[in-house]
Amino acid sequence: MGAMPTAERLSIMLGLLALMLSTIPRYLAGGHDNRLTMIMLALLAVAAVTVVHWRMLEASERRRLPVLLKRFGISLLAGLGLMGAWHALMTDWISWQLFIAHATTAGLLLHVLWLWWRPSETG
């Protein structure tokens, strides 16, 4: 109990929101209404927790967030390239909706691994 919120956690939550948003076109195109409803409810819940987390962040942690979001952006681009290469070499053409969802998932995983492997400097 009492763990202080960190900028890393917030960047991961923002990445999770991006991931959930990237799955919406896939569910719309496939007619998966139940899954769409569930992802929208989860999106709202994670968004609410993210806002609370942001409000609890100290000023020093908020100043670290732009660097982490830049890392996340780089990770998303890397995920796009990685999934593009994977699908070009290993699969037949898939829908752009599925490709975007896979690329965002790979980007978020790369971001989390980057944070774990080389944590941002504190202070």
pLDDT of 100: 95
Are 76 and 107 in contact, with CB atoms under 8 Å apart?
yes
Q: What digits encode the pLDDT tens for the residues 26-76?
A: 999 989 999 999 999 999 999 999 999 999 999 999 999 999 999 999 999
Q: What digits encode the pLDDT tens for the residues 83-120?
A: 999 988 988 878 899 999 999 999 999 999 999 887 55
Are 120 and 60 in contact, with CB atoms under 8 Å apart?
no
Are 21 and 100 in contact, with CB atoms under 8 Å apart?
no
pLDDT of 122: 52
- C-alpha span between 4 and 53 (Å, rounded): 9
pLDDT of 121: 56
CB atoms within 10 A of CB 92: 5
Q: What phi, psi does 55 have (nearest 5°)?
A: -65, -25
pLDDT of 95: 87
